[in-house]
Structure formats: C-alpha cells, structure tokens
Amino acid sequence: MNNYRLFDTHTHFDVPEFDHDRELLAHQAKAVGVECLVLIGFLHSRFQDLIRTQHFINQLDQAPKSYLAPGLHPFYIEQHKKEYLQDLESILSREDCVAVGEIGLDTFLKEHKQPEIFKKQKEFFAAQIELAQQFDKPILLHIRKSHADVLTVLKQHKYQYGGIAHAFSGGIEEAKAFVKLGFKIGVTGQITNPNAKKLHQVVQALGSEHLVLETDCPDMTPLCCQSSHEHRTRNTPANLPYVLDGLAESLQLSKEKLALQLWKNSLQALHLSS
C-alpha cells in the first residue's frame, strides 16, 4: 500500500478499450493510491458513455471517486455540430460536473491550420469557455502548437475560474503565463522519459505548487510500462504512481511530500474541498 493519495486529473477511462476490465482496473488504481479521477469528454457521441462510466465507477466499492468533465475536443473539430453545445449545456445543468473539458486549440496537423477550420476551433473553444463561466466551472485545456492563441482567447473572455493545462507541451514562459491566469500544469507519463528535456525544464522552473498529475489513459503510457516498441501499450489509471515517481525524480523531492502538494493542487484546480 502506497503512503499517499493521488488524483488522476485527466483520463479517458470511459473508452471501449476499458469495457472488458474497467472494474478490475479501478480496483487496481485504488489499491496503488489513486483516490480520485476525472473522466474527460472529447466527442458528442461519447457523452452518454462518459456519464454512464462515471455512475458505474461511483457505485463500486474500493474504486477511485470519479468526476465528470464533459466537453468537445479541438482535434475532432470537423465532427462537432453547433447543436452539440446545447446538449453540453444540458449535461452541465443536469449532471454533477466538476469542469468543462477537454477544450482548447490544436494546430498540430496542418489541416487544422486552415483558416476556416481554425476559426471553427476558436468558435467552439469560445462557446465552451462561456458555458464554463455560466456554470462557474474550471476548464481542462488541450493545447497543441497554439499556446499564444489559447492565452489570447482566455484573456479576451476575462476567464477567471482556472483549471488545468493538460499534457503541457509548451515552454517555461508559456507555462508561467497559464499559471498567472490561475491554471495548474498537467504532467503525464512523458515525465518518465529523461529525453523529454523541455518538460523537465518546465516542471523544474515552475516547482511542485503549480503542477498536477494525469495519466491521459489509454495514451501517454509511462516508459517503464511500455511492453513493446512496435505496438502502443494501453495506459491505465493504475500507472499514475509511475508518473509521480518520474516527477519526484525530476524535482528531487520525496514522493510523499510531492504527492501531498499535488493533491492540494488538484483540489484547488477543480474547486473541490476534500
């Protein structure tokens, strides 16, 4: 039994890859100290499964407490329709949601840089920021190659509820700008890779008080848990202690001390009290 409590602030534990063993993995996660996890939205077609998964996990004994953060992901922008925003609004009013996510901008693919596609990303991002403001919720940000644009949109909206910049891939100055706007920086299993130099520099420059942990499962598998170079190994919430190990090593802190700080940060970012 690990001597700490961990919060997995970003999971896709609702996806079909977990349908056959979700209960077992939830027990395994709890057994290694994962007390809470967030289920994040990405596609409208998955909203019902996302909600069902939260209800399923929360009726299990010896499983992490599961929180809901519905939203429409910028990478899947072509699939989003305007009316989906109304469904999102109705979920936010009906269900017990902790945040809106994952939302933001993503110009990793060159198709997404095309003006009309990028404009649609910005419209959906803006509309979901407004929903978060309407419901007083933090937001969980997905940002790839668009840190300056995301910061601009947040400032335009005078957005003040904070949240988490998930799987952070920006530099030190960008990270500090998000912290200044009230955000925590989400650290994935990439921190277990000594070659992820930029990420190590960012976490070391910021210090533990601005960071939170996430698995981003089923992706971002920590290096130690990868069983093959050819095939992607499924990541699970039970791997979160490896992310803690990697971060503790990078920051030269004891795991227990770091975990306590990260737990407080997670509650703060998600406006939870205990």
Question: Binding site residues for a divalent metal cation, as ranges?
Answer: 10, 12, 102, 142, 166, 216
**Cα–Cα distance measured from residue 157 to residue 274, given in angstroms and rounded to the nearest whole number:** 29
Question: How far is Cα 15 from Cα 74, in angstroms, rounded to an integer?
Answer: 18
Helices (DSSP H) in 98-146: which residue ranges? 115-134
CA 252 to mean position of chain CA atoms: 24
Q: 68 - beta bridge partners?
A: 39, 97
Q: Please give the distance of CA 159 from its chain centroid, rounded to a whole number.
A: 18
> What is the CB-side half-sphere exposure of residue 168 using CA atoms within 13 A?
32
> Which secondary-structure segment (H or E) carries 69?
strand 65-69
Q: Which residues contact 221 (CB under 8 A, 6 or more apart)?
A: 189, 232, 233, 234, 235, 239
In our burial notation (b when 16+ CB lie closer than 10 A, e otherwise), range 67-92 reads bbbbbbbbbebeebeeebbeebbebb
Q: Let me know if 16 is exposed, middle or buried by CB neighbors in 10 A (0-12, 13-18, 19+).
A: exposed
Q: What are phi and psi of 225, to 5 degrees?
A: -95, 0
Q: Measure the CA–CA gap between 74 and 144, rounded to whole angstroms.
A: 10
Widest distance between CA atoms in the chain: 52
Feature table: binding site: 10, 12, 102, 142, 166, 216
